[in-house]
Amino acid sequence: MDLEKLKQWMEMAQKYQNGNFWDAIFDQFMDTSGQNSQRYPISSQASRPSTKFPLVDIYLTDTQIMVIIELPGLQKDEVQLSLSGTKLLVKGISKKPIVSGSPFLAERHHGEFERVIELPEPADHKDVQAKFESGLLFVTYKKRYTQQENIPIQ
């Protein structure tokens, strides 16, 4: 056994002792930086769903909350949106483009996706507006709690 492999096993054993064994295994296996591209073929990486898809930004103003959800290549009828208190659920199916040939690099997400977004403040579904434009889903609603209120202490 060469020294480099021994170092890798020692690092892995140490992570196992810290309780991060499976995290380290999956992080190494799902490495998308290109460092492990020789060890793990593109097809195995491309079929694995990302926990961070779709990407989300949340903006707060004095009066409203705006959530921007990035859905590249999708149409509005391919996306479903639902709300429960402070949880906004976005789900749908991202279809793989019909392209001949084998992929050299495949980083884009394909297939079913579902992401629960934790909102900074609860919302009522009748107050929420959603607009789909250029691959971005804009979800806005008015803040209920715009100012701080003092509570008397007895």
In a domain, 79, yes or no: yes
Q: Do residues 98 and 68 both lie within one domain?
A: yes
Residue 150 located in a structural domain: no
Residue 73 is assigned to a structural domain of this protein:
yes
Residue 129 has pLDDT above 90, yes or no: yes
pTM: 0.61
SS3 of the chain: the string is CCHHHHHHHHHHHHHHHCCCHHHHHHHHHCCCCCCCCCCCCHHHHHCCCCCCCCCEEEEECCCEEEEEEECCCCCHHHEEEEEECCEEEEEEEECCCCCCCCCCCCCCCCEEEEEEEECCCCCCHHHCEEEEECCEEEEEEECCCCCCCCCCCC
Percent of the chain, pLDDT > 90? 42
Give the model's pLDDT for residue 34: 46
Give the pLDDT confidence score for residue 125 in this predicted structure. 87
Of all residues in the chain, what percent carry a pLDDT higher than 70? 72
**Residue 39 forms part of a structural domain:** yes
